[in-house]
Chains A and B, each alone.
Chain A
Amino acid sequence: MEESIAELRETFRTGTTKSVSWRKKQLRALLDLVNENEDSIFQALDQDLGKSRVESYRDEIGIIKKSASYSLSCLDKWMAPKKGELPLLFFPAKAEVMPEPLGVVLIFSSWNFPITVALDPLIGAISAGNTVLLKPSELAPACMSFLTQTIPRYLDNKAIKVIGGGADVGKRLLELKWDKIFFTGSPRVGRLVLTAAAKYLTPVTLELGGKCPAIVDNTLSNPSKAKVTAKRIVGGKWGPCTGQACIAIDYVLVEEKLASTLIETVKKYIKIFYGDNLKELKSISRIVNQLQFQRLVNLLKDPHVAASVVYGGSVDEEKLVIEPTILLDPPLDSEIMNEEIFGPLLPIITLKNIEESIEFINSKPNPLVIYAFTENETFKKRILSETSSGSVTFNDSMVQFLCDSLPFGGVGQSGFGRYHGKYSFDTFSHEKSVLHRAFYPELEPRYPPWTNFKLAFLKLAYALDYFGLILLMSGFRKS
């Protein structure tokens, strides 16, 4: 392991990864990798998570292709220094901010989007000119195996490496010095990563999760909008990896009187999208492993929680499948309402007045996303200014992930740092300021011995009071 990292450091030192042609070559190779191995990727995702082809394309393959193409088309622009504007006082001078790679970076990816969350940060790290070690999650073993075998065939082995293995490998990696660590996963492990990074003062990006709420107001009274809302909620809960996603809708907040409308419409679309019952379930992923399966089943064990199930609840332990399940008002102090569900259970919490949803959300740690289905502009403004979350999406779910111009990241317990599009490039770069000065003119008052005149001069100079300076210099102003 130490040898691999030494090689990455040496490769970085040679400057190979800094050239724009190297970076573009790697990005093109990554596109080739995905294009030429689509079937293998579909298979691996099916094996690890039971993801269907459309879901795999939409959430994994398509995302990576889009991200790599976008980076290729923007790379020259991103790498260009940004000019700064200087006041006259500095004349003649030139200021710019130059992005430069950080060096050797470590990327930890998670098991739920094992291709996207591994390769998308990799695209950012490559675009920014770094050497990279990627550690995919062992909890998605087919994908990890795919990545460890395929990446070396397409990308520059001396600069980009993949390492397999479990938590012990992760632990050893954290004992070493990196120039950046990018971590996607749970807050618990996020703390371990950050604590390890502190020993070397390594900057970190943490993409964590949280309980992402969906607020639904009286747009439900409008039948066609209610349909769209329900579809988007169903699509945003069970669509991504059957709820095992950091941006999946965790729970829904709705007014008491509209709860039954919501439940009925959501039930309808669950049946249309995924089938009527456990046996006929289709177009939906499964639970990743026994541990997660048990965890989810245990959430339903609490009798009060079990009593609140209004739809679904059946499980198939052998196939690791849990049917889409709706709960109505489980107790607020139950586990299901206090930890990130990360699975196909959807609690619906009713409120007397939908405006109370803001207080409800604020009583919990900052989520990664807040979803709000409303057309009330005042309510939208209140949500924006009175809550804090990584991001907010109005009247839809999940799609914000596709916007390359929007930063994707958390705040508070949902993480810090961000990526996607140019933000990926920035997160793996150091923005170096550069100031070019000339030898002339020389400002005498910069130098000691100090006098009152020099003090007056500098005060005016710092205030950019050019007129005052002229007065001082020509004797019309006392020092």
Chain B
Amino acid sequence: IVLFPLVRHSRVRAYESELRAARLEAVPLEPGDPHPLKSITVTDSKSRRGGGRRGSTSSSSSSGSVAPDPLSSMLDGTDPLSMFAAASASEAPTLSHSTAVGSGRKRREKEEEVGPDFEPWSAKRGEILARFTTTEKLSIVSEKIHWLAPSPNSTVSEKVRNRLEELDDMEEGSQRELLNLSQQDYVNRIEELNQNLKEAWSSDQKVKALKIVIQCSKLLSDTSVIQFYPSKFVLITDILDTFGRLVYERIWSMCSDSRAMPESFTADDVNDTAKETCLNWFFKIASIRELIPRLYPWQLGCTCHIFIGIQETLPRLTAMIRGIGDPLVAVYARAYLCRVGMEVAPHLKESLKKNFFDLLASFRQIHSDSVQNQLVLQRVEIPVYLTLYSPAINWILQCVSYRAPEDYINCAEIWVEFTCRHFTKREVNTVLADIIKHMTPDRAFEDAYPQLQSVIRKILNYFHDFSVLFSMERFLPFLDMFQKDSVRVDVCRSIMEVFIKHQQEPTRDPVILNALLHVCKTMHDSVNALTLEDEKRSLSLLINGFIRMVSFGRDFEQQLSFCVEARATFCNLEPVLVQLIHTVNQLAMETRRVMRGNHSRKTAAFVRACAAYSFITIPSLTSIFSRLNLYLLSGQVALANQCLSQADAFFKAAVSLLPEVPRSITVEGKLRSSEAFLLDFISNFLSTLLVVPDHPEQGVLYLVRGLLNMVQDYTWEENSDAKVRVYISALPLLAAMSQDTYLYAIPKVDSNETLYGGDPKFLAEVNKLCETLIGQVLDHLKALGRDEGAGVRKQGTLAFSLFGCLLAHGDLRNNKLSQLAVNLWNLSHKHGYCDTRNSVRTLEYIKHQSQQPDMAHLSEMALRLSLQSRA
């Protein structure tokens, strides 16, 4: 590329033509405009002849008496063009081709400041050209350019003279009117101008190049064949772009050591010569008479960084556009300005916004008479006319909204409510997609969590049907924008709250399940070592709410596999695991109900699978009472489903877990003795054991014995009667076990009563066990008797409990037993610590019972029980 043709070091003088050049430059005259110099110039016909070949297009007058014309002599110095020439003279040799290329590369890098997520103008071009076409005839009418230009004088150099000739050429060429052009002709003509521009530039005819640019800009004020205007805009701004590139590279290369220039150079980096050149361009452009031909090159100046101080220039240009009366011309000028703004200073949002607001403010212009008349004249309908605006408005909006996440999200937050209220999920999904698109670059969402949360809340307000909600394909990606853990969990929480509140029916919708599993998993995964118990509890509650709402109906296996999956997903939240075990137990019971108690081979296998699920899940719980209770419960369920060995395993597990129960546990943050809980559990356990049949390979009552052995070996609290209490409470069980028909039974499960059929050996075993227990209790009572204080009081209470037990369950016709009972009564009353009212009532009960058949022996015993035994 020969940007800067070599300029001679010494000037060749051609005095004749220099003389000719001494004419004043043609200054276009308005009719009636007094020519400032006319009055004192003498028309020199000779000099015009001298100019021979070019007739009289320029007013060839030369000043008669004026000494060196100041205007033209300036040309030699500060005129930008001579500046270029001068610069090339001194710099051309040092400027290598690579510098120019290098600067081009730099420029491209600069453009990339906007980022690849910004759809560039070049992407819009083709579409606009294809969309806005016409079959009407077009015309290019060029007028003279009015600007303030210094006039030549007698000392003007050859160089300047040449330029003046070019100007005249240009004016000659431009003064024609090209009519009846087809669209293609028009495009060709514009392309021709583009080529002319490049040629003019490369042959150092900078003013000609600028004039072409101004001429082209002028075409943009012409709205005849209005439907072609957008395409015209594209074609002409292409030329402007070409010019901008050339100027930029020129100025770049004028900075003597352009290699060392920072990528985005500022006024300080530019040397004086380049600065002066820029200023000259600036003054030249600022003095262009007409608004639009001034406005476009001015904007172009921004892209070339000619005008240092973009901060002020962009708002000024924005305001200047208000002077354009035609709304279509104005909107495209705004689009161009936005484009310039995005290119040079994408961070200066203010003027982009101002452009947009000005656009709104002047929108009513569309309905002005001027526009309407024009449309009538051109026979263009309003709807067609309005489409002409779309590329420009689209572009302006794209610029305004680009990386303006804050404004964007504030609008979107409001907009989404409107969409939710009045439209369907499809439109809401579109809005979500758009929000994602805008908030993802630069992780803009990080600053907009409150708004994004509000978006979610609004959607949840209007969409209670979760199958609809989750069928919006951008909903989950939207949730992915909440990347700060606390916010993310909050959002999930609010979703789950709405779900639990509004979901009426259990669901098996895979979309809902997948999405909510994802949501719940998010909540679950937020749990770490630092999570507060309360937090865990509330999260668990929400997840449990979800699990409870999942039902696959009769598809039990599916349900079980869901629980398997859920267990894997929520393994860190104990309450959820507990819920899952309950769910599975319930599932087993549901199966039993459906089968009316008669399991098929398949359902039997299934309930065993349920049992297995519980069996392997329970050990992972840390709370020992949860484990115990769940073992017991699951054992009961297994038993109910005739899974004897499974039930056995549960109970055995429960028994073998007993020694691990700590003496104190934490309940609601406070350390408490576990004794009461343990006693409760054991009582519960004992009552279950009534129906549990003995294992054929184990000894009689092996579970009961096992349990009692554990009780015996357990390290109870010191001075505690708990162990003895357990013994006492085991007595009713043993009594129940020795009945012919048990108090309760499980359908289809044979309890010991059936297994042993009242075998005396079995009964003897039971009796022996009773005796052992009673013996233990009595030993304990004896031991308590040695302690005068609290021991005696406890002794009384325990003795009375045992008495009650014997009374209720023992066969008091047995003299030994009845004697024992009487002794116990007396013992309990011995120290006067017993509750008299209780005693009285007991006595009344005994007397009442003695009225029953076969109970006469009680009346005899009652006589032996005295109320007053206080010593």
A and B found bound together: no
Residues of A that sit less than 8 Å from B by CB: none
Spell out B's residues near A (CB within 8 Å). Answer: none
